[in-house]
Amino acid sequence: MRAANPPIELSKGQLKVTGSGLFLDAHRRAACVFVSHAHGDHIARHDRTIATPATVALMRHRLGERVRGEALPAAYRQPFGLSDLTLELFPAGHVLGSAQLRVTRRGVSLGYSGDLCLEPTLTAEPAEVMGCDVLVLESTFGLPRYVFPPKAEVLLRIRRFVDDALSAGVTPVLLGYSLGKAQEILKYLGEAGYPCRAHPMVQAVNRVYGAQGVELPNVRLLGPDGAAPGEVVVAPPHLSRSAAILRIRRRRTAMLTGWAVDGRRGFRSADAAFPLSDHADFPALLRYARDTGAGRVFTVHGYARELAAALRREGLRAEPLEEREQLELL
Ligand SMILES: [Zn+2]
């Protein structure tokens, strides 16, 4: 493949498969878009959306039934044609329905990781390594200092925090993003027998998970009556000071986020922070890039420059994907 003709480009800030009408996770309306998962920074109302059935359901929930355009639900590992491209989706392990995409054209395959998590998951389909010639890799935690402890250990630490709060007669309030993180901790604690209360915003997403076959036992809605002694509350971080939470007079809060490896900076209002992440950490990103067998890697989002430099030190041909690269072609 010629260096000047990468099969992926940034077109006015949007990822696009070069020489095709296919955009990847476009955040502005576009004609034909692969949506890797339903987090807010990856979705918009498009004319044509290609995504897994779970992502389509979560998008409908998030964008409302007013979702215009056509949804093309695609199952994992079922290749299908789109003009001269062959598309195939693989689980990404990030949130329910999250997918990586492999686009093959004239014998060259382009892999797009989307947001990726390689650790075992309780509520999402486990990630697979997607072999490809050219890889577009997310770089959210693309700095060497982002090394997460094993997930089982993080979950145990959260459980200890919950136990300590409950035995002190205080309500533990766990703060995690309403799509993905919240369901993961509810599944873990609910199955361990802890009665849980989900903030209405979380419970609404729980219902979509339930309809997709992911049961969350021991979880009830956090209503106006608040939480009873012995119950655990799960809420989105941005609502930690909302009336529903402030009504719980005796509470102890914990943030659940990969950024907790940076210490408490940024979430000092919480009593604790645990590095429960739904992204791959730095060593996992390096390992993944190697395992795909890709001869060329483009990094996107987050620490793209730094991750590309680290991949080059590992002997891979890697660079951040930047708009100016397209300008150089003109
Ligand atoms: Zn995401």
Contacts of 246 (CB under 8 A, 6+ apart): none
Which is more confident, 152 or 5?
A: 152
Residue 7 in this model has a pLDDT that exceeds 80: yes
E-strand spans in 35-128? 48-51, 70-73, 80-82, 85-91, 99-105, 108-112
**Which pLDDT belongs to residue 68?**
63
- Angle formed by the axes of helices 151-167 and 181-191, to 10°? 70
Helix (H, G, I), strand (E, B) or coil at 160: helix
Distance 109 CA to ligand 1 centre (A): 23
How many helices (DSSP H) and strands (DSSP E) are in the chain?
A: 8, 19
Distance 183 CA to ligand 1 centre (A): 14
Distance 129 CA to ligand 1 centre (A): 18
Which is more confident, 41 or 87?
A: 87
Distance 95 CA to ligand 1 centre (A): 7
Give the pLDDT mean for 100-122. Answer: 96
Distance 177 CA to ligand 1 centre (A): 10
Q: Which of 59-68, 104-113, 123-132, 174-183 has the lowest mean pLDDT?
A: 59-68
Average confidence score pLDDT of the chain = 93
Q: Which residues on neighbouring strands pair with residue 73, listed in sequence order? A: 51
Highest average pLDDT, of 26-40, 57-71, 94-108, 255-269, comes from 94-108
Contact 236, 199 (CB under 8 A): yes
Distance 125 CA to ligand 1 centre (A): 14
Distance 40 CA to ligand 1 centre (A): 8
**Which pLDDT belongs to residue 264?**
65
Residue 261 in this model has a pLDDT that exceeds 60: yes
**Which pLDDT belongs to residue 112?**
98
Give the pLDDT mean for 224-237. Answer: 95
Provide the whole-model pTM.
0.93
**Which pLDDT belongs to residue 65?**
63
- Structure tokens given for 89: 């989706």
Distance 223 CA to ligand 1 centre (A): 28
Residue 4 in this model has a pLDDT that exceeds 80: no
Measured CA to CA, the distance from residue 56 to residue 36 in angstroms comes to 10
Distance 227 CA to ligand 1 centre (A): 29
Residue 326 in this model has a pLDDT that exceeds 90: no
**Which pLDDT belongs to residue 66?**
58
**Which pLDDT belongs to residue 297?**
98
Give the environment of ion ligand 1: residues with CB less than 5 A: 39, 115
